[in-house]
Structure 1
Amino acid sequence: MTKHPKYFQNFENSGSSFPFHIRTSHLTETVAAHRHDFLEFSYVKEGFGTELINGKPYKLQPGTLTFLLPFQYHQIVPSPDSPLLVYHTGMEMSLFSGASAKGEGFEELLLSGDNGLPPCVRFTDRKKETVDRIVDELLIEQQADQPWKFVLMRAKLHELLVLFDRKRRDDLQEIKHDGAAITPKDDIWAVAEYLHAHFRENISFSDLAHHFHYNESHLSVTFKKQIGENVSDFLQNLRIRLACSLLATSDMKIIDIAEEVGFRSFSTFARTFKQKKGVPPTAFRKVIGQAYDRNDLD
């Protein structure tokens, strides 16, 4: 029987008025391969090791910042001689959604896949000091009970994302300038990334298979074997995740949200949403959306 990597759908504070949590971990043993139904930053403060992301190894050392999208599996292997001290964050896409985030480009960055950009970077010298300060302040703010707490934490998260994206773009340019070969992606991970980038479109399974030169039955079996869920469930989870963000952070009509996230039938959207979240979208917006409005300035 095939053993799939673990799939985590929740984290501490998920579904809250500010769906973000940061913690530190001392890692002395391998963290088994898994993926999340949320976004994650991890930052290495001390130690060395290797992180496998979609099967590709990346070196971990002080100053390494990794940003993982929901379709990316990862496994962490600490060095036996130098265990890792890592800051882990879990966060929902709603922190980077809404009209202001769309104008700032965050939604496009998060929903467009990696476009060949690396999932991790390493900061050194003064830039490392800056990132050290940001993650330390995020942890302090989370533990404190101060006015404007979430506004300040959101601003620090945005700063962290900007620094990360700038650095990986600079790193990619250096690789291209040096003439180094860029390793092609495994086809199935390319399929998952394509779905992540295009899930709001009307994607048929036959068109997907044709696009990646797969026989339909082979794609179905291989995707389920490597990803742990079928294409339809993977696609629905992406759409429902964005719908939750829009319900919580916008005043869009629910029927418009259904269309925005890729459902062609409102009844299918409503049925799928209730199956995935346990409540209808109207109830979700009433409970979660009001919490966001009440606590946005806490």
Structure 2
Amino acid sequence: MTSLPRHLTEFPSIDSHFPFHMSINRLTDGYPAHRHDFFEFSLVIEGSGKEMINDDVHIMQPGTFTLVMPYQIHEIISSSNDPIRLVNCNFGMELFTRSSQFQGMNTLLFEVDEEWPAFFQYEDDQYNQVKSLIEDMFLEYNHANMWRKELITAKLIEVLITFDRSRRKQITDHKKVQMKKPEKTLIWDIIQFIHSNYRETLSLPIISEHFNLSISSVSTLFKHHIGQNFVELLHDIRIRHACSLLVSTDLNVTEVALESGFGSYKTFSRVFREHKKISPAQYRKNYTENSSRKKENGL
């Protein structure tokens, strides 16, 4: 893969302590090829078109549910005569990888994409059931009720499990599932390992030794499947965690650096500025001021 589409790494709440966002979008001209380092599911409500995920194309119409895994290249093609209206949900890997409580969800989410299809076409009662569940989740997301995050997470798990059961049944009803491709399985194992251990000391030699691979082999896997090298990915994950600590805790900046896996404040400050263009202290101040402004305006 010599040329990669733009890499989208942000959504409104990705740097918060709850990396989750929902929106309803209308696409008259589709959406250009892109990739990102978070999960995204969508449910088509109106319109029609096509979606390409890596090299696979499927039809989009009311009831089409799609789960896009991190780093997959995907594109939506729609017609202005029949624009697509869909619900989009973005959530960070750390929503589940931070706790061993969700080990089962880690297995579901990190299933290699060649093994199970990335989409499912819901029909009739099943579509109404899933649509109703997602509408409830969207409503909960837009209100500041008690236990909001817990309820959203529970509903997200139900949506994902319903999808996984549906696609598995569809495949096993028609044909046997093909064997996983070793290389693809390996890169997902490595990504999951990094997301589970980024607060510890990590390096290419450590990753290579853990997976019994040469350093050059690991570097090639990153370049081919992710389009980032190991250090870039590790810094992205650590900075995101640092941002969530800055906005949700009273830890001082040095403590945030250590809790995020950085060995020193100096390194943390440099990498943070490279990613966010401001200092960690200014990031926290900006977030606090924006939050206060929203409260004053009743938002």
Calculate the TM-score normalised by the size of structure 2.
0.68
Cα separation, 1, equivalents of 2:107 and 2:137: 24
Q: Is the 8 A contact 1:131 1:160 kept in 2?
A: no
Deviation at residue 289 of structure 1 after TM alignment: 5.0
Count the aligned residue pairs.
Answer: 287
Asked if residue 149 in structure 1 is aligned to residue 143 in structure 2, the reply is: yes
Aligned to 2:76: 76
Q: 1:259 to 1:78 in 2, by over 3 A?
A: same
Partner SS state of residue 220, structure 1: helix
Deviation (angstroms), 1:116: 4.9
Q: Provide Cα deviations, 1:93-150, integer angstroms capped at 9, x if missing partner.
A: 79x59xxx959x56984799524585544544444224434555677889xxxxx834
Correspondence 1:90-109 to 2 at 5 A:
90=90, 96=95, 105=101, 109=105
Q: Establish whether residue 273 from structure 1 lines up as the match of residue 272 from structure 2.
A: yes
Task: Name the counterpart of 2:10.
Answer: 10
Displacement after TM superposition at 1:272 (Å)? 1.3
Q: C-alpha separation between the residues in 1 aligned to 2:109 and 2:202? A: 16
Decide whether the 8 Å contact of 2:63 with 2:127 is kept in 1. yes
RMSD across aligned C-alpha pairs, in angstroms?
4.6
Check 1:93–1:225 CA distance in 2 against 1; reply closer, same or farther (3 A cut).
Answer: closer
Deviation (angstroms), 1:233? 0.4
SS in 2 for 1:42: strand
1:165 aligns with 2:164: no
SS of alignment partner, residue 223 of structure 2: helix
Give the AA of the match of 2:21: F
Q: Residues 206 and 15 (structure 1 numbering): CA distance in 2 closer, same or farther, change over 3 Å? A: closer
Cα contact 1:42–1:86 (8 A) shared by 2: yes
C-alpha distance in 2 between matches for 1:38 and 1:184 = 22
Gaps of 5+ in 1: 143-147
Q: What residue is the counterpart of 1:145 in the other structure?
A: none
**Cross-structure match for 2:25:** 24
2:85 maps to a residue whose letter is: L
Kindly, what percent of the aligned residue pairs are identical?
A: 26
Deviations 1:30-82 (A, max 9, x none): x4431125543321123555544455556644323334454333233559997
In the TM superposition, what is the alpha-carbon distance from 1:234 to its structure 2 partner? 1.4
Q: Distance in 1 between matches of 2:104 and 2:271?
A: 25
> Amino acid of the residue matched to residue 25 of structure 1?
R
Q: Tell me how far apart the structure 1 counterparts of residues 210 and 16 of structure 2 sit (CA, whole Å).
A: 39
Change in CA separation of 1:41 and 1:177 when aligned onto 2, cut-off 3 Å: closer
- Aligned counterpart, 1:132: 131
AA matched with 1:282 = A
Deviation at 1:237, TM superposition (A): 0.6
In the alignment, the residues of structure 2 paired with residue 132 and residue 217 of structure 1 have an alpha-carbon distance, to the nearest angstrom, of 46
Distance 1:281 1:34, change over 3 A: same
Q: Is the 8 A contact 1:17 1:291 kept in 2?
A: no
Instruction: Tell me the amino acid that sits aligned with residue 277 of structure 2.
Output: G
- Per the TM alignment, residue 185 of structure 1 is displaced from its structure 2 partner at its CA by 4.3
Does residue 45 (structure 1) correspond to residue 60 (structure 2)? The answer is no
Question: Is 1:88 paired with 2:88?
Answer: yes
Secondary structure of 1:149's counterpart equals coil
Q: Secondary structure at the match of 2:270?
A: helix
CA 1:89 to 1:184, structure 2 compared with 1: closer, same or farther past 3 Å?
same
The aligned amino acid for 1:41 is F
SS of equivalent to 1:245: helix
TM-score by length of 1: 0.69
Distance 2:186 2:80 in 1: 33
Q: C-alpha offsets along residues 196-247 of structure 1, whole Å, 9 cap, x if unaligned? A: 4423243321343455565433543553354222221012112211222232
Q: More relative contact order in 1 or in 2 (CA 8 Å, sep 6+)? A: 1
Distance 1:237 1:107 in 2: 23
Q: Does 2:230 correspond to 1:234?
A: no
Cα deviation digits, residues 245-286 of structure 1 (max 9, x gap): 232233455445434433344432232122211223233233
- After TM superposition, the structure 1 stretch with the greater mean CA deviation from structure 2, 191-200 or 168-177, is 168-177
Give the aligned residue type for 1:166.
I
What CA distance in whole angstroms lies between the structure 2 residues aligned with 1:164 and 1:24?
Answer: 19
CA distance in 2, matches of 1:187, 1:263: 30
Over 3 Å counting, the alpha-carbon distance change for 1:115 and 1:15 in structure 2 is: closer
Distance 1:203 1:79, change over 3 A: farther
The verdict on how the C-alpha distance between 1:194 and 1:58 changes in structure 2, with shifts beyond 3 A counting, is farther
Q: 2: distance between equivalents of 1:85 and 1:197?
A: 36
